[in-house]
Amino acid sequence: MKKIFLWLLIVSMILVFSLAGCKAEVAEEVTEEGVVEEPVEEPAVEEVTGEPEEALDESEEEEIVEEATAKNKIAFTSDRDGNYEIYLLNIDGSEQVRLTNNPAYDVWPSFSPDGSKIAFVSDRDVDGNNEIYIMNFDGSEQVRLTNNPAGDGNPSFSPDGSKIAFTSSRDENEEIYIMNIDGSGQVNLTDNQTNDMVPCFSPDGSKIAFMSDRDGNIEIYIMNVDGSEQVRLTNNPAYDVWPSFSPDGTKIAFTSDRDGNGEIYIMNVDGSEQTNLTNNPAGDGNPYGNPS
């Protein structure tokens, strides 16, 4: 399991925008409506002296929101301090901050849709295997979500932020699981004897695209979020990997070496109209769609 994760780490370079790819869109502001308040007796009005408080302007309100979420940030993995850890930086490269700090390796960061949480993979615990953790975007409150002798990895938040899909080898092969963000309700979605890896939610949260070698080589598949209706989308002797949905959910970008080197392709969500987008002698891969 660890070898697979390290291979995937090297291929992808583990650089993920909080607003990109399988990572969900920025959450809209939530307000409460229709709350009925019981009438209360009005107190006597006292004379107020001094200067009245000024209401916050829009820029001040936006600053408060940004303090609570990782807006316009990039989470990434680096071994600059001697082992792999999770870091955060602004999109212009400034303010690079280390979020994790332990002798083990911490990799594969994935932002929650509202930017307030980061899921990641670590082997820090006594058993030394990969497990999924979650923390606040500033690195505080690091909590282990999975706990078993096998390896768990590739966490991906659902668009509403209530679920995390991930890969696990607890059934002696790689499978796609889903759980609540507190680690409860862990369910095997794929459940077969071959390897299924790297889940990616559709923008509406109804589908999960993933990689599988169940038909002899690695291909792209899609299924409902409950694991039903698993369908193969690509079919050729080469490998097809790293699926990523378009913002409107109608397309899937992926990487393939069917033309002799890694290229970025795009197809409809039913697998039709597979088209080479990059088409050059060098290697291209790991596409992520911008949901904005």
* CA–CA distances in Å: residue 120 to residues 21, 52, 112, 126, 201: 16, 46, 11, 17, 17
pLDDT at 8: 45
CATH class of 1-18+69-188: mainly beta
Quote the pLDDT of residue 285: 60
Structure tokens at 118: 């980061």
Q: Does domain 198-292 have CATH number 2.120.10.30?
A: yes
- What pLDDT sits at residue 280? 77
What pLDDT does 279 receive? 77
Report the alpha-carbon distance of residue 118 to residue 101 in Å, rounded. Answer: 15
CB 2 within 8 A of CB 123: yes
Query: From first to last of its 292 residues, what are the pLDDT tens digits of the chain?
Result: 444 444 444 334 333 333 334 643 333 333 334 333 444 444 444 444 444 444 445 444 443 334 456 678 889 999 998 999 999 999 888 999 999 998 999 999 999 999 999 999 999 987 788 999 999 999 999 999 999 889 999 999 999 999 999 999 998 899 999 999 999 999 999 999 999 999 999 999 999 999 999 998 999 999 999 999 999 999 989 899 999 999 999 999 999 988 888 888 999 999 999 999 887 776 666 655 555 4
Residue 217: CB atoms within 10 Å: 14
- Angle ∠(254,258,77) on CA atoms, nearest 5: 40
CATH 2.120.10.30 residue window(s) in the chain: 1-18+69-188, 198-292
Cβ-in-10-Å burial (0-12, 13-18, 19+) of 114 comes to: buried
Q: How far apart are CA 177 and CA 197, in angstroms?
A: 10
230: Cα within 13 Å, side-chain hemisphere? 18
